[in-house]
Amino acid sequence: MDLSHIFNSKKFFSIAICAVLFSFLSFSAFSQEHASSDTAHATAAGAHDAKPEKEEDISKVILHHIADSHEWHFFGHVALPLPVILWTDNGLVSFLSNKFGHNDHGTELLDVDGTKLVYYHGKYYYPESVKSADGTYIAYNNKGDIMNTKPLDISITKNVVSLLISVTILLVVFIGIANAYKKREGKAPKGLQSILEPIIIFVRDDIAKPQLGHKYRGFMPYLLTVFFFVWLNNLMGLIPFFPGGANLTGNIAVTMMLALCTFILTTVNGNKNYWGHVFTPHVPWWLYPLMIPVEIIGLFTKPIALMIRLFANITAGHILILSLISLIFILKSVLVAGIAVPFVLFISVIELVVGFIQAFIFTILSALFIGMAVEEKHAEH
Amino acid sequence: MTLLALNPLVSPDPGLFIWSTVAFLILFFLLSKFAWKPIVKALDERERSIEDALSKAEMAKAEMAKLISENEDLLKEARLERDNILKEAKEIKDQIINDAKDQAKAEGTKLIEKAKDEITNQKLAAMAEIKNQVSSLSLAIAEKVLRKQLEDQDKQQALVNDLLKEVKLN
């Protein structure tokens, strides 16, 4: 199916531009703070390690910022401890993440209700029985992979808190405007309703209807939920401090969950025509041994591409911003900030567009895949 | 798998996966039930009502145009009617006048005729009267003249002689 009409659509661009301008107004101030707060982070991390700053350290800092965390770091040494919930061999254990201090070098044994654990680089492991040569309870194999087994970590991490915040915001906002629709039945939209209504209509008219045809109605709730969930979390990821800052849509577990939802919907709703394309492709029969496996792989590559596209785009944006900030520390001159900060501002604005576009692309591709699954048989092309 | 294990970024965290699945499904069901359903319904309904209103407005416009043209037709008809009535009235008036004139003329003629007859009759009567008067007068006069004439015997004799003479000639 040809997607170019979507990008040529005037409506899409006008909405994208509106989104950019609107977001620019509200978030340009934040981007400035993003820069300064990240500076603080980097400084703190540098001081903490008390090692000469090397590029390796910078990349560690960046990866640390992008990764999930058991505490919500605000500034300096101020952080919100979050509950750790582990499914260990001895059952469920839970404690606040600051209960055993902030040692994540794996050198300390933690005794949680009789279960011995070790905290290493932000993760909880079962300790080795003896300390290794570098003073940790962590053992590596010859490839450098950690050999320790892990308990199942279902902690309320930073990303989970961010997830719950975003879910709450979405529920409050959309149930609120749904009530507004009920209360002001048949009247013109007002307030928040009038901001979100064009976007809802955009999802319906430019995403759902072109891909799903007359069957769009049943898939509207899923597409709208995905669109606003991804968009809101993309935007929240760009806010450098508390309610945002978690890299939720840049986390592969979340994008995997979303892609899996689309995959399940596609598979469950796939009709005879769809499965016919997979198992009896329109090629000479002797190509079947080649084509059927390709088609079956194709079933899985589509959601995997969805998963990786969103994850990679959002993560790349975060890495880009953090790298620009880190230039100040790599070049060891505060003057670099004069170039780095405007660049960060610029990239942040681009990220706002990317945040919208990725939400849009995720939703439209989901709609496209579902559309292919429910498409009625028609003349071959 | 070594690539996945090497980079923590691309190894999905089971905890977050579980939490996000739970949260997303709850979000999906709550929003579907309490938000998207009423919103999409309201949007559809509003669109329908706007379409209805537009088509109704169009219809009203057409109706209006129809009414106006009808009114014009009515007006035209009324004018025509008025003109007709006026024309008819004029005709009737003319006719009445003409009739009246004719009648008056006829009546006049009749009266004149009658008058003429009367006059003739009166004239004839008067003539007859006059004739009677004249004859009686002439008789009286003749009587008186004769009486006078025949008072003298000689003269009577002379006259009879004359008359007898005349008879002889015959």
Out of B5, B23, B39, whose CB is closest to A167?
B23
Kindly report the CA angle at B13 between A85 and A315, in degrees rounded to 5?
A: 125
A222 → chain B, closest CA residue: B28
User: Which whole number is the average pLDDT over A237-262?
Assistant: 88
User: Which residue of B5, B13, B16 is in closest CB contact with A145?
Assistant: B5
Chain B residues near any Cβ of chain A (below 8 Å): 2, 5-6, 8-21, 23-24, 26-28, 30-32, 34-40, 42-43, 45-46, 49
Beta bridge partners of A125: A118
Phi-psi region of A191 (alpha: psi -120 to 50; beta: other; left: phi over 0): left
Q: What percent of chain A has pLDDT over 70?
A: 84
Look at residue A257 and tell me whether its pLDDT is greater than 90. yes
Predicted confidence (pLDDT) at residue A112 exceeds the cutoff of 80: no
A122 half-sphere exposure, CB direction, 13 A CA radius: 18
Q: How confident is the model at residue A366 (pLDDT cuts 50, 70, 90)?
A: very high
Write down the mean pLDDT value for chain A. 81
Query: In the prediction, which pLDDT does A24 show?
Result: 42
Give the pLDDT confidence score for residue A9 in this predicted structure.
Answer: 52
Tens of pLDDT, residue by residue, chain B (170 residues): 444 445 667 778 888 899 999 999 999 999 999 999 999 888 888 889 899 999 999 999 999 999 999 999 999 999 999 999 999 999 999 999 998 888 888 888 888 888 888 888 888 888 888 888 888 888 888 888 777 777 778 877 888 888 888 876 65
Cβ distance B36 to A220 less than 8 Å, yes or no, reads yes
- The pLDDT of residue A22 is 45
Is residue A358's pLDDT more than 90? yes
Q: Where residue A31 falls among pLDDT bands split at 50, 70, 90?
A: very low
Flag whether pLDDT at A80 surpasses 50.
yes
A69 or A313, which is more confident: A313
pLDDT at position A36 over 50: no
Is residue A227 scored above 50 in pLDDT?
yes
- The pLDDT score that the predictor gives to residue B10 is 77
pLDDT at A4 over 60: no
The H or E element that residue B89 is part of is helix B37-149
Mutation pick from A154, A247, A265 vs chain B, by most beta carbons of B within 10 Å, is A154
**CA B34/CA A12 separation, integer angstroms:** 28
User: Residue A56's pLDDT is what?
Assistant: 64
| The pLDDT of residue B80 | 94
On whether any CB of chain B is under 8 Å from the CB of A164, the answer is yes
For A158-207, how does the pLDDT look when each residue is reduced to its tens digit (9 = 90+)? 899 999 999 999 999 999 999 888 888 777 788 888 899 999 999 999 99
pLDDT band of A8, cuts 50, 70, 90: low
Question: In this predicted model, which residue has the larger pLDDT, B79 or A23?
Answer: B79
Count CB neighbours of A113 within 10 A.
11
Inspect the interface and report whether the beta carbons of B31 and A224 lie closer than 8 Å: yes
Which has the higher per-residue pLDDT, A269 or A5? Answer: A269
| ipTM attached to this prediction | 0.80
Higher pLDDT, A85 or A120: A85
pTM for the full model?
A: 0.72
Residue A21, number of CB atoms within 10 A of its CB: 12
Q: Is the CB of A156 less than 8 angstroms away from the CB of B27?
A: no
Query: What average pLDDT does range A285-306 have in this prediction?
Result: 90
Cα A254 to Cα A256: distance, rounded to the nearest angstrom: 5
Query: Residues A240, A341: contact at Cβ < 8 Å?
Result: no
pLDDT given at position A361: 95
| Tokens read off for A8 | 């040529």
Q: Which pLDDT belongs to residue A378?
A: 66
Q: Please count the CA atoms within 13 angstroms of the CA of B76 that sit on its side-chain side.
A: 6
Distance from CA of B52 to the nearest CA of A (A): 12
Strands (E), A115-251: 115-120, 123-125, 152-153
Q: Do B30 and A253 touch (CB under 8 A)?
A: no
Residue B84 has a pLDDT of 93
Residue A30 is predicted with a pLDDT of: 39
